[in-house]
Amino acid sequence: MLFQNHHIHYYKYGEGAKTLLAFHGFGQTGPDFEPLTEALTQEYTMYCFDLFYHGKSYWNDQDTPMTKEFWKEFIDKFTQTHHIDNFSLCGFSLGGKFALATLETHPERIDKVMLLAPDGIKTNTWYSLATYPVFLKNYFKSMIVKPHRFFNLINIAKKAGLVEKGILKFASSQMNTRKKRRRVYYAWVVFKELSFNMKKMGSLINHYNISLEMFLGTHDKIITKKGMYKLLKHVKVYELHVAESGHNKLIEKVAKHLKSTKQEP
C-alpha cells in the first residue's frame, strides 16, 4: 500500500469476524506471525505488517522521523480502505511501539491489545544513545561502514559487565552485515518519535475499557517483567502471562498457549 510516498506492505490471514492488526519485531517480517495466525484466524482477520526497513516496506525519507500524526493518518486510510471499524492490536518487540502508537491515536476504536515482550514501555538505553545527542548519532551512523566501532563498544561493555550476555548476543546478531547495520541505524532515526507517557496510556486503556493481555519470557534479557510495570501499574485490569521462553521464541510459545486455551472445555 502506497501512502504519502512511503510503501507499507502487509499480509492478510483468515476471514474471522473481528480484525487484528499485528506488528512484528526487529529483523522480522509480517509472516513471522504465522504461528499465531493458526490460533487466531477463526476469530480474527489478521493484517500482519512489514515495518519500515523490514520486508517489502520502505520509508522514502531516511533522515526524517515518522510522526504519530503520519501513523494516525495511515491507520485511518488503511481501515477506511478495508472497511474496518473497531479492531484489536498485536505487537511483538519493536512492533510494540506501533501497537502503542495506534492505541494512542485511536483508543476509541480498539477492543483489545496483545503485547508480546513489547518495546516502547521502558526506554532502551542504546536507543536513546543512538538518537541523542547529535555527535553520538553521527558516531552510530558511521558504524554502518565501520562496524569495528560497534564491536569495540560491545567488547568494552562486555568486559565492564555493563550489559547482559543475552543482550550483547542479540545486538551482535543484528549488526553483522552492512544491510543489517543500515536497518538498525535508520530504524533508530525514523522511529525515534514513537515514545509514550505510560500514565496516559494506562488512562486510555482504563477509560475505553480496552482489554490488555501481555506475554513475557522468563529468559528474556531484553524486555523484562520489572520494566513492564511502568505501564501495568497504571492499568486497572490486565492479564500477564510469563512463558518459559527467551525473547526470540516468544511468538511460538504464545501461539501454543492460545491454542491450548481454545481447546479447553
pLDDT digits (tens, 9 = 90+) for 22-78: 999 988 999 999 999 989 999 999 999 999 989 999 999 877 899 999 999 999 999
With beta carbons less than 8 A apart as the criterion, state whether 202 and 210 touch.
no
In this structure, what C-alpha cell is assigned to residue 108? 476509541
Give me the residues of the chain with pLDDT under 70, please: 123-137, 139-140, 144-145, 147, 161-175, 263-265
Which CATH number is 2-122+196-263 given? 3.40.50.1820
| Residue 163: per-residue pLDDT | 63
| Nearest residue to 92 (alpha-carbon basis) of 69, 73, 115 | 115
Report the predicted TM-score, pTM, of the whole model to 2 decimal places. Answer: 0.86
What pLDDT is attached to residue 177?
75
pLDDT of residue 178: 76
What is the 8-class DSSP label of residue 67? P
Q: According to the model, what pLDDT value does residue 185 have?
A: 78
- pLDDT recorded at residue 144: 67
Which pLDDT score, from 0 to 100, does residue 190 have? Answer: 87
* Nearest Cα to Cα of residue 247 among 225, 232, 230: 225
Q: Report CA 204 to chain centroid distance, whole Å.
A: 19
Per-residue confidence (pLDDT) for residue 159, from 0 to 100: 76
Cis peptide before 35 (omega within 30 of 0): no
- Please report the pLDDT score of residue 168 as a whole number: 65
127: nearest Cα among 72, 77, 193, 62: 193
CB atoms within 10 A of CB 234: 17
In the chain, where the domains are located: 2-122+196-263, 125-188
